[in-house]
A = this chain, B = another copy of it.
Amino acid sequence: MVDLVADYWETMRERQPLPDVKPGYIWDLVPKDPPAEPEPWSRIFADIEPVIFQGTTHWQHPHFFAYYPSACSYPAIMGDILSGGIASIGFTWKSSPAMTELEMVMTDWIAKAIGLPRFFLNSDSGPGAGMIQCTASDATLIALLSARARAVMAMKQNGIDRTAQEEVNPNSQIINFESHDPVYFSKLVAYCSDQAHSAVDKGIMLAGVRMRKLKSTKDDRFNNYSVEPNVLEAAIKEDRAQGYIPFIYVATVGTTNTCGIDSLTKLGPICNREKLWLHVDAAYAGSFALCPEFRYLIEGVEMADSFNFNCAKSMMINFDYSPMWFKDAKEAINYFNVDPTYLKHEHQAVASDYRHLQVALGRRFRALKVWFVLRSIGTTKIQENLRIVVNRAIQFAKLIEKDEHFELFVPQHLGLGSNDINERLNTIINDDKRIHLVPANAHGIYFLRVAFHSSTTEDDVKYAYDVITELAEALLKSEL
């Protein structure tokens, strides 16, 4: 299997990034019933090419410019092999001490590598902590639920009236979870940028609170879509006047749409002063803080209550790997703890039981991946890779700037170049199949976005540009 994966990587350029298959293709290739008796591995291996590779969108292909990079490296796969081989489930410290402890050290390593403040470290004596979530969506939901619980408790302490709701009959056996009392939810409003990822909308929706998306504008610092402080302040004032309670701002550092960035230095003081939980969703751009020259992107992070980014995008650590830090993890744990007898153990007071900071109980040994990747590759080489991604985007942006048919929709940011072009060109490019990219939409304008990986060469950037311009010119001619 290791050889097969190595061959797959080495012959990648012979494939097209997007497969030709149509929905339902697999039903003709795979039996509809499970086999009762074992099959030889030779037959299983022979099926991998037609069933799997022929139906795969090859994210590691150098002509894949869609979505965002998906990290992949052999040391990370080594971590998965060992995690699978140990097959312990780390839901408490005692159920797998090494899993919890290595996760504590590794989130500290990453925190230091990207320059997070000391209070986020597990080795710091304060209530801050770092841990690994599956995805940024999970991290956002956990931040929302923590913030919701904090807001409910504050409303109770401040004696804010419950909306008129019959009190629970004292003889009733119905349980109302104190910090998750829904009577308070309908007053709560979560804010985010209109450029925030759909995972933020989904998290707010599932948390059962109200959402308000704040209009972003191209700001002076990042020259990209950001929410200005006066917009946030005006929303808070307006919504409070209507009886709402703004309780969280989910800031975005590197949106999927345009790589738009909310300035933490501008919005953080407002959140802290007005007692809004500040969650920073740096899913895409967070990795780049490994390079000191890009660390300005998360300046002001000391004002955040929680911070998250995906190592599984540009940091050579395979999905899933989404570290999250809490300024006060002890508080958050209180909101999620529902301990039964079979999970109690004698070390609960001192050791971290990470299950309280996520929805799931079970946990894999994901910290092995970062341990192997950082030790066998080193942070210097990962920084170099990140700079390659950025340089590819700069190269592409220059080609677009010089081209009469295109304009940069937003300036190049990190590994995302983009341009204003119509929906039809997007369809033509993807039907052509030589390269793969996805469109986006900001304030009603449909545009193409191009994402680069560290495996993209300069020639690949030129190739993408040539394919796009060739197809665009043909489209323009046909419309004359």
- Give chain A interface residues in 152-200, CB to chain B under 8 Å: 163-166, 168-169, 172-177, 180-183, 185-186, 188-189, 197-199
- Any chain B CB within 8 A of the CB of A217? no
Q: Are B242 and A378 in contact (CB under 8 A)?
A: no
- Any chain B CB within 8 A of the CB of A438? yes
Chain B residues within 8 Å of A138, by CB: 359-360
- Any chain B CB within 8 A of the CB of A60? yes
- Any chain B CB within 8 A of the CB of A368? yes
The 8 Å CB contact of A379, one of B36, B173, B372, is: B36
- Any chain B CB within 8 A of the CB of A52? yes
The 8 Å CB contact of A86, one of B8, B98, B342, is: B8
- Any chain B CB within 8 A of the CB of A239? yes
- Any chain B CB within 8 A of the CB of A476? no
The 8 Å CB contact of A206, one of B8, B135, B180, B376, is: B180
Bound CA–CA A332/B110 (angstroms) = 37
A206-241: contact bitstring with B at CB < 8 Å (1 yes, 0 no)?
Answer: 111111110000000000000000000001001100
- Give chain A interface residues in 118-156, CB to chain B under 8 Å: 123, 134-138, 141, 145, 148
Bound CA–CA A188/B95 (angstroms) = 35
Of the four ranges (under 10, 10 to 19, 20 to 34, 35 or more), the interface on chain A belongs to 35 or more
The 8 Å CB contact of A44, one of B112, B375, B439, is: B375
The 8 Å CB contact of A342, one of B67, B96, B105, B199, is: B67
Chain B residues within 8 Å of A340, by CB: 197-198, 256-257, 440-441
- Any chain B CB within 8 A of the CB of A380? yes
Q: Are B25 and A97 in contact (CB under 8 A)?
A: yes
Bound CA–CA A24/B349 (angstroms) = 12
Q: A206 → chain B, closest Cβ, in Å? A: 6
- Any chain B CB within 8 A of the CB of A361? yes
Q: Are A351 and B23 in contact (CB under 8 A)?
A: yes
Q: Are B35 and A379 in contact (CB under 8 A)?
A: yes
Q: A110 → chain B, closest Cβ, in Å? A: 7
Bound CA–CA A175/B213 (angstroms) = 8
Q: Are B67 and A87 in contact (CB under 8 A)?
A: no
Q: A427 → chain B, closest Cβ, in Å? A: 8
Q: A412 → chain B, closest Cβ, in Å? A: 18
Chain B residues within 8 Å of A136, by CB: 361
Chain B residues within 8 Å of A33, by CB: 109, 112
Q: Are B205 and A342 in contact (CB under 8 A)?
A: no
- Any chain B CB within 8 A of the CB of A391? no
The 8 Å CB contact of A362, one of B1, B24, B202, B320, is: B320
- Any chain B CB within 8 A of the CB of A80? yes
The 8 Å CB contact of A97, one of B39, B56, B210, is: B56
Closest 8 pairs (CB-CB, A-B): A5-B85, A55-B98, A182-B185, A72-B87, A26-B101, A341-B441, A34-B109, A23-B351
A-B contact pairs, 22 of them (CB 8 A): A1-B81, A23-B351, A26-B102, A30-B102, A44-B375, A60-B87, A60-B88, A135-B360, A137-B360, A145-B206, A163-B163, A175-B213, A176-B210, A180-B206, A198-B340, A202-B336, A206-B336, A208-B208, A340-B440, A340-B441, A341-B439, A342-B441
